[in-house]
Amino acid sequence: MMPSACSIRVRGVVQGVGFRPYVYRLARANTLKGWVLNGEEGVEIYLEGAERGLQAFVRDLRTRPPAAAAIVEIEVHRAQSLGLTEFTIRESQRRERPTVRISPDLPVCDACLEELFDPSNRRYRYPYINCTNCGPRYTVVLGLPYDRPRTTMQNWPLDEYCANEYQDPGNRRFHAQPVACSACGPGYYLRLDNTVVPGNEESIRKAVLLLKDGSILAVKGLGGYHLACDAANSTAVIALRERKYRKEKPFAVMARNPKVARGLVKLSAETEELLVSRARPIVLAPARTGSSEVAAEVAPENNELGVMLPYTPLHHLLFAAGAPKTLVMTSANRSSEPIAFEDGEAISRLSGIADAFLIGERPIARRVDDSVVRAGTFGPMILRRSRGYALGADAAFPRTRPILAVGADLKNTITLVVDGQAFVSQHIGDLSDYESFCAFRETIRDMISMYEVRPEELLVVHDSHPEYVSTAHALGLGGFRLQSVQHHRAHIASVVAERGDWSRRIVGVSFDGTGYGDGGNIWGGEIFVGSVTEGFERVAHLRSAPLPGGDGAAQYPVQAAAGFLSELDSLPDLTAEPFAFPKRYKDALNLIDKKVRTFATTSVGRLFDATAALLGFTREITFEGQAAMWLEQLARGVPATEPYPFPYTGEELDFRPLLHSVISDRRRGRDLCEIAYAFHGGIARGLYDALITICKVEDIPTVVLSGGVFQNELLQEYLKELLKNEKLEIWTNHAVPPNDGGISLGQAAIAGFSVLNRSN
C-alpha cells in the first residue's frame, strides 16, 4: 500500500526557537519520512508514512509545539507520495520576499544555566552559552532566513565540539545558530583606563570588585550597553545621575533573583508572572519602603520601582561572582540619547560616565532597550516595548501593499506591514534628539531591507502634525503613496489592531498629552465613535482652553496652568501663598492676553499638569509625564473621598468646576493627597458619565481607552470600579503601549483600510 503524504506550512515565530529539531524528533517518533526547512514564510514540512503517524504528528504540532515558538497558522495539504527513505533537515530555501517572524531575544534557559555552573561542563562559566531554547535572536540577526551566516556570529567558525552538537538532531543545540563555547566563540574582556583585563573569568571578577567598590560600569548586554552600579550605594547612584545628566527619572534595578525582587517591591501574582516571563522586562511595582537594598536616589519621590531579573548568562555570572544583589541597570546613554550598542561608539560616548567597560566581543546587530511593563488594571500594559517583544508581529492585517507607518515624534516606533503581518519596531525614542533620529532612519532601513521591500512599493503613513520630524522624513521616503493619520485616532486604532476586529463600532477615548488635531489645535481629550473600516468621528472632547507656548508648555506645569486657569472667573492671585507660582506663570498669562504663541488645547495631560502645579509642582519637569506621575503618586493610599465635579455637558467635559474645587480646597488647607484623589475621581466620574451617555445614544457596548494619560493606574482603577455594573466591554492596549509607542500600529491600521476602501 502506498503511504499517505502531506505538506505542512507553519507560520508565526517558528525560526530560531528549536522548531526544526522538534519536527525532526516528532517525525522520527512517528516513523515518518520527509524533510523540514526554514522557508521565508515560516517552516515548511513534507511528510510521508502511515496515516496514523501523520495524524499524530499534526496533533502534537498543534497541541505541544516547542516552548519558545508562537504559532499563528498551520496549513496542511495532501501531497503526492515520493517514496522517501529517511527524514532530513534541508538547507534553507530562498524564494520571494521573506515574511517569517524573527523571534525576540530569549533569556538563558534552566538547562543552560545548569551547565553554566557545572565545572565539568565545556561551557562552565562561558558568558555566551545558549541553545535552541534560549539566547539572542533579534539582536544578532543580520538577514533572513535565520541561519548562522546571517547572524553576528558569522565570524566565529564552530569547533568540532560545537559542530557536532549543531549537527546532532538529538541535541539541544541542534541548529542553534548562535552556539559557541569558550574554545571557539567570542568572549568578554574588561577595559579600565588604558589597560585591558582579558579572559571571561578574570574580567568578570574584576568587574565585580569594581561594582562592590562603588564604581560605575558600562556592561555590554543583548541589545546595547547598560550602565551598572550598586543600587544600595547612594554615592554611586548620585554619581551616575550627575554623570548621565539624569536628575530625577527613576532608574531600573536588576535583582539577583525573585526572592531579592520580592524584598524590593510588592509582587502580585500578575506582576511576578511578568517578571519571570520570557520577555524578562523591567516590571513596575509598588516599592517596599525602608528596603536597605536600594538607595533613595534610585527612584526619588516615587513609590513605584522598576525591577528586572538577570536574563543573560553574563548577568548570572556577575551575581554568582559576588556582585551586589541589586544593581542599577540603566540604558547606557546621556539623557534622551538612544542606547549605545557599538563598542567604539560606547567607549567614546560613555567615557566620563563609566569608570570601566565590560565588553563582549559578539557584535550587536541593532540596538534594543529593555522593555518596561506593568500588571495593569485592565491586564498587562507595556509602557516601552523593546527587548523580548520586538520584533514579534503584533497584529494580523488584511493582505495589502506593504505599509510603513513612521509613528509620532515622542516615544517613536515604526510599523511595517508585509503580507498581512504587522511588525512593530523596538522602542526608538524621542526624535528631537539627533542620535534618536539617526536610530529612527536606521530602523526604517533595517526593517525594509530585512523584508526586502522596495521604497516605491510602500504606502507611507505619518502623523498629521506638519512639524513632526517623522512627518518630514516620511515625505522624503519615496513611497508610492503618502497618507497622514490624526494622532488620537491612531491611538484608538492601535487597540483595535491588536484584536483585528476591524469593523467593530466602538466608543474610543483618547486622553493624551498632546497631538495635532483636525483643525490644527492641540488635542488630547477626545472621544470618538466609529470603526477602523468606516473611520472615527469625534463626538466629544475636553472643553477647550488656551495653551500659551503650545507644546512647549508640556515642560512647565505652571504654563499649562495659566491656560486652563485663564478660563476661570474670580481667580485668586496664584503668585501668592499657598500657590507661589513663579514668574513664568505671569509671562504665560501675558502671552494669552496678547494672543501670542497661544494655541487652543483639549489636552487632558495638560489638565493634569495644571492641577499638579496648583498642588505644588511649580518647577520645570525633567522627564515626560513627570508632573502627572507626581500627581498620581500623591493621590495614592488616601481614603476615598468625594470626586470633584467634572460635568459632561454633551460634547464637552467642563474642567472649570473641577479646577475651582482644587483651588478652594487648596486655599482652605485641605490635605494635598485628598485633593489629588478627588481630582482623579472627578476625571473618572466625568468620563464615566460621558461614556454612559454616548454608548447609550450610539447603542455601542464597546469602549476603547488609549493615549498616554491611561498609563495612570489610579484613573483606570477608578473607572473600572465605576463601570463594574455596566454591561460595557473595555478594550485597552496589551501588545503595544497606550502612549505614543503604539501610534505607528494605529496609523498602519487606519491607512491600510482607507487604501482598501479606495480600491473597492
Residues 72, 100 contacting (CB under 8 angstroms): no
417 binds, among Zn ion, Fe ion, none (CB under 5 to 8 A by kind): none
When CB distances are held under 5 to 8 angstroms depending on the partner's kind, the choice from Fe ion, Zn ion, none that residue 109 binds is Zn ion
Nearest approach in angstroms of CB 67 to Zn ion is 11
Instruction: Give the integer Cα–Cα distance in Å for 291 and 385.
Output: 29
- Site size with Zn ion, rule: CB under 5 A: 5
Q: How far is the CB of 66 from Zn ion (least distance, A)?
A: 12
Report the C-alpha gap between 321 and 343 in whole angstroms. Answer: 24
* 56 to 47, 53, 63: CA distances (angstroms): 12, 5, 10
- State the minimum distance, in angstroms, from the CB of residue 181 to Zn ion: 13
- Name which of residues 730 to 749 contact Fe ion (CB under 5 A): 740
Cell of 279: 520577555
Which burial class, exposed, middle or buried, applies to 716 when counting CB atoms under 10 A from its CB (0-12, 13-18, 19+)? buried
237 vs 490, beta carbon nearer Fe ion: 490
- x/- letters, 685..724, toward Fe ion (CB under 5 A): ----------------------------------------
Question: In three state form, how does the secondary structure of 652-664 look?
Answer: EECCHHHHHHHHH
396 membership: H or E segment, kind and range: strand 393-396
C-beta closer to Fe ion: residue 370 or 740: 740
Q: Which one of 26, 74, 112, 350 is in contact with Zn ion (CB under 5 A)?
A: 112
Cβ-based nearer residue to Zn ion, 181 or 743: 181
Residue nearest to Fe ion (CB): 512
Return the C-alpha cell found at 137.
Answer: 535572536
Residue from 483, 492, 482, 539 nearest 515 by CA: 492
Distance in angstroms between the alpha carbons of the first and the last residue of the chain: 51
**Amino acid letter, 106:** L
Least distance to Fe ion, CB of residue 740, Å: 4
The answer to whether 101 touches 12, Cβ cutoff 8 Å, is yes
Shortest distance (Å) from residue 173 CB to Zn ion:
8
Q: For Fe ion, how many residues bind (rule: CB under 5 A)?
A: 3
Residue 344: CB atoms within 10 Å: 8
Binding part of the chain for Zn ion, among 127-135, 361-369, 417-425, 434-442 by CB under 5 A, reads 127-135
Considering beta carbons, is residue 107 or 742 the nearer one to Zn ion?
Answer: 107
Q: Which stretch binds Fe ion (CB under 5 A): 29-37, 420-428, 510-518, 552-560?
A: 510-518
Per-residue burial over 390-410, b if 16 or more Cβ lie within 10 Å, else e, is: bbbbbbebeebbbbbbbbbbb
CA–CA distance, 367 with 82 (Å, rounded to integer)? 46
> Exposed, middle or buried, 604 (CB in 10 Å: 0-12/13-18/19+)?
buried
Q: 300: cis peptide before it, omega within 30°?
A: no
Nearest approach, Cβ of residue 52 and Zn ion (Å): 33
Window 511 to 540, contacts with Fe ion (CB under 5 A): 512, 515
180 vs 295, beta carbon nearer Zn ion: 180
Site map 58..97 versus Zn ion, x via CB under 5 A:
----------------------------------------
Q: Under the criterion CB under 5 A, does residue 507 sit at the interface with Zn ion?
A: no
Rounded Cα distance between 598 and 545, Å, is 10
In the stretch 10-49, what mask flags binding to Fe ion with x, by CB under 5 A?
----------------------------------------
Residue 513: CB minimum distance to Fe ion, A? 6
Pairing of strands 87-89, 33-39: parallel
Residue ranges in contact with Zn ion by CB under 5 A: 109, 112, 131, 133-134
Residues of the shown chain interacting with Fe ion in the complex, contacts defined by CB under 5 A: 512, 515, 740
